[in-house]
Amino acid sequence: MKKNGLILLVEDDHDLRQMFAICLRHEGYEVLEAATGLAGLELAQARQPDLVLLDVGLPDISGMEVCRQIKGDPKLQDVFVAFCSSEATSEQHKVSGFQTGADEYLVKPFGLQELVARVQTLVRLRNTTAALRASEEHYRRLIDILPDAVCLIHPQGHLLAVNSQAMVILGYTSTDELLHKSIFELTPAEEHERIKADIGKALKEGIIRNAEYVMLKKAGAPFQVELSATVSLGINNQPVGLLSVVRDITERKQAQEALRASEERFRQLAYHIREVFWMSNADKSKIIYVSPAYEEIWGETCSNLYASPRSWTNAIHPDDRKLVLENTIAKQLTGEYDEVYRIVRPDGSIRWIQDRAFPIRDASGNIYRIVGIADDITKRKQAWDALGESEARKRAIMQAALDGIITIDHEGRMIELNSAAEKIFAHNRPKLIGEKVMEVIPTSFRSWFQDGLASCFAGDKGPTCGSRIEMPALRADGSSFSAEFTITRIRLAGPPMFTIYIRDITQRKRAEAELRALSQRIIKAQEAERSRIAQELHDGINQLIASVKMRLRKVEGSLPDRKPAAREILQRCDRLLVKVLEENRRIAHNLRPTDLDNLGLAAAVTSFCSEVQLRTNLQFQCRLTASSRRLSPVVELHLFRIVQEAVNNIEKHGRAKSVRLELRFQEDFAVLKIQDDGQGFDAKTVKAGNKMRHGLGLTNIRERALSLGGTYEIKSAPGDGTTVAVRVPLTVARRGTSPKRKRAVAAA
């Protein structure tokens, strides 16, 4: 038998319960039975019946409590409850029953036919109510998943209901916040009059379609919406509000604006690009669009091309026309069309054109348009030709250059070199191309070179671009040679590249070494000659002068007293001879000071400065650090000669009033510094070794410093005096200096 529904009988009277059950089952209902309230609740929760026939008076809990719990359970919201009682029949009982949520109140006794009729009515009503609730839930969920906001707006503007998307669009967190708002609170003031007019119009006409407004988010930010609404009618067929669908069209507006901007940019591009942009149908029988640049490049009007789509080919140079027309037919539909040809303009001038074309397909993959770009490359073609000539000249220069020329990338790999570089390194070109330049640099210099490469050969870590750097290089057989490198950065986009000019300076280095050796031999010859002259002055001339002086005194003693004039002459001669002896001693002392040999450098320098101070206006301040152990004779001699040369230059050219002379021991060096307050000079224009003034003296100072393995530095500026500084390594300056002495010198 077909089941018409599930009925739960909760009745403590067994006979009555059985009778009701038999009757209802006979009518096609499925019946559950319970004798107590708790048993009834368990069955109701487990089976969820359509209708519960509930006795008010039960042995455990009252029927009123059972009804209250059933109606309070969300899972049982579609269960109808009908009270059945023969005792609780008063009006107050009925009121209490309905207040607990009961759907019907039956007073016993009643006939079985009445019971069946009441049950049929309640089940039908329950099914209708459940269907309505399911329908409402269906449409509520349907509305909630809509991407648009759905609102019910009162004719006065109040929000009566909203879906979840309305909260999202407007930026609210709960429906309660929105349901306290008016549509006028969610829109700017300038929209209010139009909204009122549209609401009035909708109430008359019944609908609003695609009306655009500006609304305000919770934070106050405006955004654009599109609203469609229909009038919602109440029970009396009277309008209760506008059911509105609101769509955020901000992105659509932005897309429309972007599209308009894109179209505007296309128009601007098409009207202003220098290339010819064209579009035709697939068989080239119609020109859909051609940019105004066609008139400038071809010298023909666009209207003529629209009227005669193939007229552009008339301008193609006769020598190029056949090939271009063949490729137009064969390649434009495949997307391979990329031709360079010449055209002859109406004025007779020739221009080079690069023409490219591409097919456009529809959704089915069929070609329905051809688009192309024709570019005037006349200047570029001329530049290519000029570049080719330039490359040819560059190759000729590189091959004719006597110096090696190598181009390297930012990783130090050689990408180009000339034949001179092959000869210098004794490598063939294929061996070097692609190899790192480190292959031709000794191991001890590779870290230094790599640091320079990392810093683009500029700054503190690497050599400066463009400067000349002397360093060893390696040939193919592993032998090293002296080379001069000049590194120049090539300014191009992307990673840096460098050109290295390499010159083999082995012969020059040998010549410089020979010249330096010659200079040292000259200095040694000078010193030997000075010693010889000083010895001859002391042993020869001075002895002769002394002998003459003694003979003159003997003659003076033999003269009679009556000849005073002759005695006066002899006395003058004696005084002159004394001066000659003193001058000879001074010359001999300068040529080879005995103090230098007997007392050391400090004493010799002090004596020399005192002698100069006596015969000139120069004032000397000497700070000479004494050494517990003598420097080597050669070092003392060279340092003394440097002092002589510097002081002589000051005396002759400096116009100085005072001279500060300092000798100290600093770390592993002996440092000699001579400083004056004279007129100075431009140190950049006065170089040691040239033929300008000071040249010979400065050359002697430089050569003597270099011969000791030391360094020489001169600082001067017009009106700012001159400072000469010489640093000599102590390993050269001392002979067998003890570590204790070295620490003492360093501490000083």
Give the Cα separation of 622 and 585 in Å (integer). 24
Q: What residue has token string 């487990």?
A: 46
Rg (CA), the chain: 59
Indicate if 46 and 106 belong to the same structural domain.
Answer: yes
Domain end marker among 435, 470, 504:
504
Residues 137 and 152 in one domain: no
Residue 286 has pLDDT above 90, yes or no: yes
> Domain of 203: which CATH number?
3.30.450.20
Phi, psi angle pair for 248, to nearest 5°: -75, 115
3-state helix, strand, coil in the chain (%, to 5): 50, 25, 25
The predicted structure's pLDDT at residue 144: 67
Residue 735: predicted pLDDT: 47
pLDDT value at residue 311 = 92
Give the global pTM: 0.35
Q: Does 741 share its domain with 606?
A: yes
Residue 391 lies in a domain: no
Residues 112 and 238 both lie in one domain: no
* pLDDT tens string 725-738: 998 887 765 544 33
Cβ count within 10 A of residue 619: 13
Q: Which residues 6+ apart lie within 8 Å of 532 measured at CB?
A: none
Single-letter code of the amino acid located at 436: K
Same domain, 170 and 96: no
Helix (H) or strand (E) holding 504: strand 497-504
Condensed to tens digits (0 to 9), the pLDDT of residues 413-433 reads 887 888 887 887 877 777 778
Same domain, 602 and 741: yes
Token pair in block for residue 420: 């001179």
Question: Does the pLDDT at position 245 exceed 70?
Answer: yes
Q: Which two tokens stand for residue 260?
A: 């308009």
> Is residue 2 over pLDDT 60?
no
- pLDDT band with cut points at 50, 70 and 90 for residue 744: very low
Average pLDDT over residues 652-658: 87
pLDDT band with cut points at 50, 70 and 90 for residue 529: low
Question: Residue 741: is its pLDDT beyond 50?
Answer: no
pLDDT at residue 462 greater than cutoff 50: no
Tell whether the model's pLDDT for residue 656 goes beyond 80: yes
Decide if 409 contacts 415 (C-beta within 8 A).
Answer: yes
Token pair in block for residue 495: 């990673």
**Residue 531 pLDDT:** 66
Question: Using one digit for the tens of pLDDT, what is the confidence trace for 552-565?
Answer: 777 767 777 667 77
The average confidence (pLDDT) of the chain is: 81
Question: Is the residue at 572 inside a domain?
Answer: yes
* Mean pLDDT of the 91-111 span: 86
Residue 694 phi/psi, 5-degree rounding, is 70, -10
- The single residue listed with the structure tokens 């051809």 is 370
pLDDT of amino acid 599? 78
- Of 22-36, 130-144, 426-440, 474-488, the range with the lowest mean pLDDT is 130-144
The answer to whether residue 622 sits within a structural domain is yes
Q: With respect to residue 303, please indicate whether it lies within any of the assigned structural domains.
A: yes
Non-local (6+) Cβ contacts of 6 within 8 A are 29, 30, 31, 32, 47, 48, 49, 50, 51
Q: Is residue 387 part of a domain?
A: no
Residue 734 or residue 51, greater confidence: 51
DSSP type of residue 438: G
| Mean pLDDT along residues 454-464 | 51
pLDDT, one tens digit per residue, over 596-617 is 777 788 888 888 888 888 888 8
CATH number of residue 741's parent domain: 3.30.565.10
Two tokens at 10? 């909760």
If 0-12 CB within 10 Å is exposed, 13-18 middle and 19+ buried, where does residue 311 land?
middle
Q: Which of 231, 251, 249 is nearest to 241 (CA)?
A: 231
CA atoms within 13 A on the CB side of 307: 5
**Residue % of the chain over a pLDDT of 70:** 85
- Give per-residue pLDDT as tens, 185-219: 999 999 999 989 988 888 888 888 889 999 999 88
**Shared domain check, 121 and 151:** no
Q: Identify whether 266 is part of a domain.
A: no
- Of 311, 315, 369, 359, the closest CA to residue 337 belongs to 359
Which of 537, 563, 584 is the last residue in one of the domains?
584
628 lies in the same domain as 733? yes
Is it the case that residue 319 has pLDDT exceeding 80?
Answer: yes
Q: Which of 141, 171, 203 lies at the terminal end of a domain, its last residue?
A: 141
Mean pLDDT value of segment 669-697: 71
Same domain, 355 and 414: no
Cis omega (within 30 of 0) on the bond before 109?
Answer: yes
- For residues 168 and 66, membership in a common domain is answered with no
Is 265 a domain residue? no
HSE-up of residue 554 (Cα within 13 Å, Cβ side): 6
Structural domain including 335 reads 273-382
pLDDT exceeds 60 at position 747: no
Of 263, 281, 276, nearest to 302 by C-alpha is 276
User: Degrees (nearest 5) of the Cα angle 37, 43, 45?
Assistant: 100
Q: Predicted confidence band at 742 (pLDDT cuts at 50, 70, 90)?
A: very low
Domain-embedded: residue 443: yes
Q: Looking at the predicted structure, is the pLDDT value of residue 152 above 60?
A: yes
In SS3 terms, 512-534 reads as HHHHHHHHHHHHHHHHHHHHHHH
Q: How many CB atoms neighbour CB 137 within 10 A?
A: 10
Note whether 615 and 688 are same-domain residues.
Answer: yes
Same domain, 137 and 170: no
The count of domains in the chain is: 6
- Output 274 or 369, whichever has higher pLDDT: 369
